[in-house]
Amino acid sequence: MTAYLVLASLAVLLALLLSGRFKPASLFVSWAVGYHLLIGTDERSFLASYVNPGVVTLALLLMVSLVLERAPLLDALPARLLRGRPTLAVLRLTGFTAIASAFINNTAIVAALLGTLARQRHLPPSRVLLPLSYAAILGGITTLIGTSTNLVVNAFAVEAGLPPMGMFDLAWAGVPIAVVCLIVLAIGSRHLPLHQGGSEEQAQRYFLEARVMPGAPLVGRTIEQNRLRQLDGLYLVEIVRNAHLISPASPSEILQADDRLIFTGEIAKVSTLQRFPGLQLFGHQSGALLHSNLVEVVITGESELDGRTLRDLDFRTMFDAGVVGIRRGNQQLSGQLGRIVLHAGDCLLLATGADFGQHRNLDRNFVIVSGAPVRPRLSPRQSLLAFAGFFAVIALAALERLPLLPGLLMLTGLFIASGLLEVAEMRRRFPFELVLIIGSALSIARVMEDSGAAGLIVQAMSAVSAGHGVWGAFIGAYLITLLLTEVLTNNAAAALGFPIALAAARAFDADPTPFMMIVCYGASAGFLVPFGYQTHLMVFSTGHYRAMDFVRLGLPITLAYSTVALMVVPYLFPLYP
């Protein structure tokens, strides 16, 4: 009876996660605590889930990445990688990205290259930014530290009494998967939308708002008379007047005090509006900052701005910045700027104050695409020392001379002692939500296995794949994990997919290793939906993509990825040794 109750509660958890109305961390913690109180899970093991060695290793790895992502080594690379034929250029870029993301946090890699690639002129940014995001995922499946998902699955394996994965165990199947998919990616990138700089589609990028102040010379004159129809790089599309929308804005429309004028346009052309006395840009009282303090950011999936409007927030106090413009992929926004419900992946154009870079909540809410860097870059000598220390720890762990956890502990201490990493920065960037999700997921996974709920799911899988035995269970475990990573997040998919895969392996008395591996690969197979992966959100608006662009390129990648994974994993790691 308990198994059915746990299964029903998991269905509710999945439904709430899919609704997007609640933060995953809140839901996972609530379910873990609920199981502990209602089912009576062991208190010691419940608390130990949150200080699991795998969880601690992941947290330390992310702290070390804070130093590595400040290295200036990536600044000049895009110009060199994108020369020559487009297909080969994309292959070089994605190959480099995959190699780098095998060792460095993929979000940091994409963030470091995003601004440079968006501004380069060798290839249209829309042809390289989505491949960049996919390549970062593909590189992550080749090493234990390539993505947080691998460390999560490894933590589950250790908790279940299985041997831990080695540093390069995932590379045996991960490298062939990555190579095949990178080739498909380079060929498929030619079918992405073409957004050339200077085209009308590229020019009408940002959604901007300006208010006509009382007493302004613009009041009482038409749009045509005020010469607001023929601005360089900006186009007046709508007027918001007394909560009514006038769209499209006719050249003969007479402006009134407190009218809000809605423009679309380029970042570089925002200052054009300053030549009109009495026209105030939304989000900032003074136009002086617009000459040098414009910063372009992307809203992260963990941001407290997600699902809220600018009117709901005291944005200026929170960040010492004003919102000048909003952009959402290739979508045409409409209405008043302050009433638009913001979503993860939206680009904001900010006019920033002097204290913008000092706010502790920046990294959780934004990825900075262009503008003044928030943190200083490392010097060449500091970069060399940081990478030398990092790869020394990786090499020692791979050679089994020094476990990864103590190696990262020593490296973190060295970075702090040398001043490369500040305790205040660690406190600001510590992945509290990720730790809560993983720790809670470990507790939930234990309940799924102990209660028999995972076994019930395996029985259902066996019924669906009747006659296919262990192969049906193996493929089913992969497809369930892949589906979960598309509709949830990669770590949530691993958390829910692992106990099912382990139960399937034990039900057929098979080796759990290939099932553990296939969960790792399945949890990283998020190529179809732009909102399920952090790096997809980062490139979505910057590349002016639509959701169908992800399907168009992601579907052949998913098919190639799945085919190679399902063929190679059981060959290298037999289901029955």
Asked whether the predicted pLDDT for residue 198 surpasses 50, the reply is no
| pLDDT range class, residue 133, cuts 50, 70, 90 | very high
395 lies in a domain? Answer: no
pLDDT in tens, 259-316: 888 877 666 566 677 778 888 776 544 344 344 467 788 887 777 888 788 777 777 7
| pLDDT range class, residue 60, cuts 50, 70, 90 | confident
pLDDT in tens, 323-381: 777 877 666 666 666 778 888 778 887 777 667 776 767 777 887 776 655 566 788 88
521 touches 527 (CB < 8 A): no
How far is it, in rounded angstroms, from Cα 338 to Cα 309?
A: 6
In this structure, is the dihedral angle defined by the CA atoms of residues 309, 311, 317 and 322, taken in order, positive or negative?
A: positive
Buried b (16+ CB within 10 A) or exposed e, 101-128: bbbbbbbbbbbbbbbbbbebebbbbbbb
CB proximity list for 142: less than 8 A, separation 6 or greater: 98, 102, 168, 170, 171, 174, 175, 178
| pLDDT range class, residue 516, cuts 50, 70, 90 | very high
How far is it, in rounded angstroms, from Cα 322 to Cα 297?
A: 12
501 lies in a domain? Answer: no
316 touches 282 (CB < 8 A): no
For residue 295, the domain's CATH number is 3.30.70.1450
271 touches 291 (CB < 8 A): yes
How far is it, in rounded angstroms, from Cα 437 to Cα 434?
A: 5
How far is it, in rounded angstroms, from Cα 260 to Cα 256?
A: 9
Average pLDDT, the chain: 81
Q: Write out the two tokens for 349.
A: 């154009």
286 lies in a domain? Answer: yes
**DSSP three-state, residue 366:** strand
| pLDDT range class, residue 470, cuts 50, 70, 90 | confident
- What Rg do the C-alpha atoms of the chain give, in angstroms? 25
First to last CA, the chain: 35
Give the relative orientation of helices 148-159 and 512-523 as an angle to the nearest 10 degrees.
150
List 209's β-bridge partners, or say none.
Answer: 262
287 lies in a domain? Answer: yes
What domain range is 259 assigned to?
A: 200-370
| pLDDT range class, residue 199, cuts 50, 70, 90 | very low
Residues above pLDDT 70, as percent of the chain: 87
238 lies in a domain? Answer: yes
398 lies in a domain? Answer: no
Owner of token pair 């990555």: 178
213 lies in a domain? Answer: yes
As for how many domains the chain has, the answer is 1
Owner of token pair 């209660």: 451
How far is it, in rounded angstroms, from Cα 435 to Cα 430?
A: 9
| pLDDT range class, residue 208, cuts 50, 70, 90 | confident
Least confident of 446-460, 500-514, 520-534: 446-460
Among the residues of 125-241, which ranges form H helices? Answer: 129-140, 148-159, 171-188, 200-203
435 lies in a domain? Answer: no
510 touches 462 (CB < 8 A): no
